[in-house]
Amino acid sequence: MTHTPGPWTATVCEVEQRDETYKAHWSVTLEDLFADRDQFLICDAFGINQRSNARLIAAAPELLEACKAALDWVNLFALHAPYQFGNEDKIAEVLRAAIAKAEETR
């Protein structure tokens, strides 16, 4: 499975005023200042936690790469370390599950 390569960014794309409150609409897009928004839209975020959700989604490409690097390190450590801490298997399991979820191999 492939995904749109990052970096992605979370931005407020629309703000509307209703009475005395403002409603923001967050989007996740490619981090390209010259890109057409519709062509490079990753997703729109709605709801009560839209800002946090948009930022988490925007971090997804970097988080996936971090999980892969951490899993490589845990596997290498397990092979060559003179001692074990005892939770390497659990850490590897969590990392593999996150990678599988992101790559739809679960």
Q: How many domains does the chain have?
A: 2
The whole domain housing 38 covers 8-58
Regarding whether 42 and 68 lie in a shared domain, the answer is no
Query: What pLDDT sits at residue 82?
Result: 64
Regarding whether 34 and 66 lie in a shared domain, the answer is no
Q: Considering the entire predicted model, what is its pTM?
A: 0.75
Over the stretch 8-20, which tens digit does the pLDDT of each residue have?
Answer: 888 777 666 666 5
Regarding whether 77 and 45 lie in a shared domain, the answer is no
What's the burial of 92, exposed, middle or buried (CB within 10 Å: 0-12/13-18/19+)? middle
Question: Is residue 3 within 8 Å of residue 61, measured between CB atoms?
Answer: yes
Of 75-79, 82-86, 96-100, which range is least confident? 82-86
Over the stretch 37-59, which tens digit does the pLDDT of each residue have?
Answer: 555 778 888 778 888 888 899 89
Helix (H, G, I), strand (E, B) or coil at 23: strand
Helix (H, G, I), strand (E, B) or coil at 16: strand
Regarding whether 12 and 53 lie in a shared domain, the answer is yes
